[in-house]
Structure 1
Amino acid sequence: MSFTRPSGKHRRPSRAVRVSANVAGIATLTAAGVVAGVAAPAFAASGDDSQRPEDTGLTQAIVMGDVMADTIDAQAETQRSAADEAAARSHAEAAAKQKAADVKQRYEEAKRKLEEEREAKERAAREEERKRLNTFVMPITGSYVSTSYKASSGLWSSGSHTGVDFHADSGTSVHAVGAGTIVEAGWGGAYGNNVVIKHNDGTYTQYGHLLTIEVSVGQSVTAGQEIGVSGATGNVTGPHLHFEARTGATYGTDIDPVAYLRSHGVDI
């Protein structure tokens, strides 16, 4: 026999999934005999409210199916939202980690470059200082040797020249040949006004017969610095500069001044 849908709450036709689920529910109820009971003559209109179609088990099953579908949809939506939030958090965390790694890498690169620049500046400064300390010059610019080392003459108490004489008119500027410390500055007997410098390599140089002295004991000097002016003080026959190179501070430790200057790079 034909089945007539009772009036009352109907399923929403737009929910195809629900329709499929409810149809399956109806089939189950039919197999259980529910539809058969509803199809009895009492299905017709009656004054007994308990026999109204909307109160049958079929109607209840449809309503329950709608509620379950809504619950499942809500759960699915919740799960999707949770998954989306988790993915968003994961993406944000990965982006933050990458940004932190990039910042650290840039910092390390900048630090490395600064360290390299600092080391380069320090090397340049050390090299400049080394050059300054090891640079030697002529005691009188543009002069020449007028009396050689170990020349023999009765003018010297030792019988030979312990240094060299550089030609210089009185008042000519006399320079320290290299960096060092003044260990003697004053009257030196036969040397007249003289200056003795201890250099950084442990050698000494002497400058004699000066007209005036412009440095004092303990003072540090650099190569080319003026220490006085030439003259004719002490045991001399005319103005010039007496220059000695020594291994010690005192008389008798002299070495060849020309060879000494040449060994320090002076063109003489």
Structure 2
Amino acid sequence: MLCALGLLAAPPAAARDGGDGPGGVGAAGLSAQVVRLYEDAARATQRYETGRREAEAQRARALRIEALLDRERRELGVLRADLGRIARAQYRTSGGMPLTAQIVLASSPEQLMRGQQVFSQTNLAVNNAIEKSRRAESRLARDEGRAAAAWRSLERRNTALAELKKGVERTLDEARWRLQGEADASVTAGSCPGAARLDQKRKKPTSAWVAPVETYELSASFGNGGSRWANRHTGQDFAVPVGTPVRSVADGRVVAVSCAGAFGMQIVVRHSDGYYTQYAHLASIAVDQGERVEAGRWIGQSGTTGNSTGPHLHFETRITPEVGSSVDPARWLAERGVRLG
């Protein structure tokens, strides 16, 4: 399993070459590659978690073996103590006296027979104790070998899982920042590249309204003050890595696509209720102006273009398509059944 997963950590051939020529990858191809790498990373993470749980189970088995070893060592100590006690008792009761001496010193045949019976029973007890001790020593040595092998296997598994995870994350991070570099070049030039169509696995949305990204942390909120904005913050920021798929929050039509200014790459969508939503600081755009979109449709990828201090999605809701008409997006979404946080 680990060998197969290792392939996910290796960059595809297209990722190692630049440009749009044979073997190269342009902005659109790079966008699609980042999406695929996100999917690869999700699968690798899932398998990593499966492997981690298996490693935990293996660790529990190793601990059980260690507990068994402790019990066997105690039992072996008891057997050795018993053997010593039997040997001392045999010595004190003349169990080690030669047979000739026992015949000479016996006062009657009955005494001689009783002495022989005691002698035989003592020898049997000694032999049994020795045999039990030998078996216990053999079992202990075998289980000590099993325990050592289990710990070595666990260490190898954990090392391989850690390397796998780091490799996938490294490959994805490199692709993210190549995508961001392409986006920065477009914003500097003031022109948008063609729509980078993202191959989304279509699934029917469970609601007419969705959050603009699936997994996120909320950062700057509507109305926040600070030196980063001329007045107050006009939207809701979602802290997400570069390349995260961005979704249209509802059905609508794309009324603006631009790649310049403080918002960097941005999209504005008009919805059927007359409100507009803006998606800014993107690293790629997956729709064209005038195109109709559905709730949950991927329309771009998050980034940090324009006036941005780090990767995030800046999301606004407006009553017009222009700056300056924004309303609180968290409250606006909550009124439509989408609660953030």
Normalising by structure 1, we get a TM-score of 0.49
Higher-Rg structure is: 1
Q: Which has the higher contact order (CA 8 A, sep 6+)?
A: 2
Normalising by structure 2, we get a TM-score of 0.39
